[in-house]
């Protein structure tokens, strides 16, 4: 299967979790892939996995919340593969707290990674897309960018910002053959989520209670998100832009 043949994709937060799953899915579908993130060891593990599949990949160590790093990641991708046609803004962080429990430092960190990072990466990618004659941005937002949840004030604000940034960019850049969409997952089985539930009876009860809120009766899997990202990056979705797609087992439909 080569649904992404000819595509060159840059995936942030590409060393673990959703980013890793998306990178492997893109490589399987024929894309050339650059994985970016702060942990070189994890990025290199993904690079090795893709090379074992026969894919073409490079790893770029960077901090998406730094403008110079964002620009360098785009330049290095173009230098390696000759162009950039897909950006997946996946890097993210979680903070569990209400407003009065959130320090200014924590607020700034969440907003920097979850909202400023995609802004900087997208800004850097636009010139590359123009050189390529068009491009696609896939933002990994959250169902909490559509609805609220207790103890997630900064996270909801950051993901809500990313969801509306998606729509604004879609309107601004459609005439340049640049599409922008976002995926809004509910809770997905990743390393980040595993830390939310202690390995004891209380943690198991909290996990079961969380699953009980999802009509389809299970948490998401990284592959669920990766397959939707493939669709949004492919020509199969060529008339889709500005969409914020709930991928949440029915949670937001209730």
pLDDT digits (tens, 9 = 90+) for 51-71: 999 999 999 999 999 999 999
What phi, psi does 34 have (nearest 5°)? -110, 125
> Is residue 122 located within the same domain as residue 158?
yes
Helix (H, G, I), strand (E, B) or coil at 99: helix
251: in domain: no
Lateral strand order in the sheet of 178-185: 57-61, 32-37, 8-12, 86-89, 135-140, 178-185, 244-247
> Is residue 240 located within the same domain as residue 194?
no
Residue-number span of the structural domain to which 50 is assigned:
8-185+221-246
* Mean pLDDT over each residue of the chain, to the nearest integer: 96
Closest Cα partner for 42 from 21, 20, 22, 25?
20
> Is residue 193 located within the same domain as residue 226?
no
Q: Show which residues are catalytic.
A: 155
- Return the number of other C-beta atoms located less than 10 Å from residue 6's C-beta: 11
> Is residue 98 located within the same domain as residue 161?
yes
**Residues 219 and 187 sit within 8 Å (Cβ to Cβ):** yes
The answer, as to whether pTM is greater than 0.95, is: yes
Distance CA 172, CA 108 (A): 27
Q: Is the pLDDT of residue 193 over 80?
A: no
> Is residue 172 located within the same domain as residue 133?
yes
197: left (phi over 0), alpha (psi -120 to 50) or beta: beta
In the prediction, which pLDDT does 197 show? Answer: 85
Q: Which tens digits make up the pLDDT trace of 204-251?
A: 898 999 999 999 999 999 999 999 999 999 999 999 999 999 999 999
């Amino acid at each position: 299967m080569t649904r992404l043949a000819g595509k060159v994709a840059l995936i942030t937060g590409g060393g673990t979790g959703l980013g890793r799953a998306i990178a492997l899915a893109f490589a399987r579908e024929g894309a050339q892939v650059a994985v970016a993130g702060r942990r070189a060891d994890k990025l290199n593990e993904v690079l090795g996995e893709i090379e074992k599949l026969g894919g073409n990949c490079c790893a770029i160590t960077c901090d998406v919340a730094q403008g110079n790093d964002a620009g360098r990641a785009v330049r290095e991708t173009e230098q390696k593969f000759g162009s950039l046609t897909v950006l997946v803004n996946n890097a993210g962080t979680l903070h569990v707290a209400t407003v009065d429990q959130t320090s200014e430092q924590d607020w700034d960190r969440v907003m920097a990674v979850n909202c400023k990072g995609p802004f900087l990466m997208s800004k850097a990618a636009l010139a590359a897309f123009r050189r390529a004659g068009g491009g696609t941005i896939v933002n990994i937002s959250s169902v909490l960018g559509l609805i609220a949840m207790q103890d997630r004030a900064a996270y909801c604000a950051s993901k809500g910002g990313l969801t509306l940034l998606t729509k604004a960019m879609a309107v601004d850049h459609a005439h340049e053959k640049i599409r922008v969409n976002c995926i809004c997952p509910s809770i997905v089985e990743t390393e980040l989520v595993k830390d939310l539930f202690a390995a004891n009876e209380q943690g198991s009860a909290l996990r079961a209670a969380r699953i009980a809120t999802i009509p389809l009766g299970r948490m998401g899997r990284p592959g669920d998100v990766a397959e939707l990202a493939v669709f949004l990056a492919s020509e199969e979705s060529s008339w889709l832009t500005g969409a914020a797609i709930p991928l949440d087992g029915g949670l937001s439909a209730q």
